[in-house]
Amino acid sequence: MLTTRLVDRFLDDSYSVETRRHVLPLTTARLTANACFRFAPPFLASISDDFGISLSRLGLALMITELAMGASPLLGSFVDRMHRRTAMTGGLLGISAAAVVAASSPNVWIFIVGILMISVAKFFFDIGLSAWVNDHVDYERRGRVIGITETSWALGLLVGVTTMGLVASQTSWRWGYAVGAGAVGLMALVIGARLDPHDVAGSVRDRNVVAAPMPRRGYLVFGAMFFLMASSQAMFVTFGSWLDDEFGFTEAGIAAVAFGLGAFELLASVTSARRTDVWGKERSAIAGAMLIVPAGVLLAVLHTQQVPGLVLLGLFLLGFEFAIVSLLPLAANLIPDAPGRGLGIVLAGGMLGRASMSVVATATYDRFGIEIPALVGASMALGMILCLVIFSRDSRS
């Protein structure tokens, strides 16, 4: 009854029965997946200490995982050929297994293999979910449904990473991953049981068109995703170390901050779900990036002040969340007959952005502190804005 009322608040009867019935379980499943995916960055200091390596060396290792995900356009075409339930259930099971690998890793290279496996498996789930939404929701109203499912990004931090971090504070980061693995495995069983195995709308059609080319202007969205993900990575891989070094935060303290940041992101996701279709995808994404720029600059100036610094970090991530939720439906519609391929190409841009920033941000943090990563993050947001302004102009011409 409660879940029905929650759905009714956001989705009226004009949305399909399948969409209204499954959107909350799918969002919950994605919450657990995102928790495993987002767990490492806030606790990089603890992980690097455990393996006896510097933060910058661990950042270099993370870059390798992101570069390996440059194959995402090919994976997107492959997922387009799969049943939606198969892609999502298989992705969740893969994340669970990969989290176990990370938790039990005897050295940093096995840990990186686990992180890479989480990224690949999560990609399968995310593309399957995006294709499922494309199958069931018209583009004009898709922003609201994607906004609901994207609350899982914020909730993954607010609920998932916080819980895993509290477990880690009492044991170790390895047990944090173990808890995440169990949660994702449970949701794989739930999704596998709930979704109709014959609900493969679009899959047969997609098999004949997965080679559809990306329109030329679509690469501006690729560039926008590159800059946006680079901007967010500048903060994600450094804020935990900043809190530890500047203010002496423990793992429990970092988990508490993650909870607060998740609340900021949740606010952005809910607002985007309500407003993106009204304001327009490009305009909403630009608005989010415009919040990142001053937040990053001011954080570089006020990084030694705990309360202002935390508020600015929250605003930085709020802007990112609003921008990414608004950008995803645009990316998934670049190749309407093959959404997995279009989204895969754009997400490859995001992965390249994260890969480059994993090295730049950790190396500059080791040498200069949080100031330079914050300024770099702000400048990357400006690049994202420029790409979308050009995209919007080309769309009108």
Mean pLDDT rounded to a whole number for the chain: 82
Apex CA 216: angle with CA 211 and CA 219, to 5°?
A: 90
CB atoms within 10 A of CB 238: 29
Helix (H, G, I), strand (E, B) or coil at 268: helix
**Residues 73-91: pLDDT tens digits?**
566 666 667 778 888 999 9
How far is 216 from 118, CA to CA, in rounded Å?
31
Query: Where residue 349 falls among pLDDT bands split at 50, 70, 90?
Result: confident
Cα Rg for the chain, rounded, in angstroms?
A: 20
pTM: 0.72
Residue with tokens 């779900």: 273
Domain extents for the chain? 15-196+207-396
How far is 36 from 59, CA to CA, in rounded Å?
18
> Averaged over 176-187, what is the pLDDT?
96
**Residues 238-262: pLDDT tens digits?**
888 899 888 988 888 888 888 888 8
Helix (H, G, I), strand (E, B) or coil at 318: helix
> Averaged over 325-339, what is the pLDDT?
73
**Residues 17-68: pLDDT tens digits?**
777 778 888 999 999 999 998 898 888 888 888 888 887 778 777 777 766 6
Query: Where residue 208 falls among pLDDT bands split at 50, 70, 90?
Result: very low
Query: Where residue 5 falls among pLDDT bands split at 50, 70, 90?
Result: low
How far is 385 from 4, CA to CA, in rounded Å?
38
Q: Are 192 and 128 in contact (CB under 8 A)?
A: no
**Residues 274-283: pLDDT tens digits?**
666 666 778 8
* Among the four given CATH numbers 1.10.3720.10, 3.40.50.720, 1.20.1250.20, 3.30.2180.10, the one describing domain 15-196+207-396: 1.20.1250.20
Count Cα atoms within 13 angstroms, Cβ side, for 141.
12
User: Length of the chain, please?
Assistant: 397
How far is 172 from 166, CA to CA, in rounded Å?
9
Share of the chain residues as helix, strand and coil, in percent rounded to the nearest 5 = 85, 0, 15
pLDDT of residue 75: 65
How far is 210 from 292, CA to CA, in rounded Å?
35
> Averaged over 131-140, what is the pLDDT?
76
> Is 291's pLDDT higher than 60?
yes
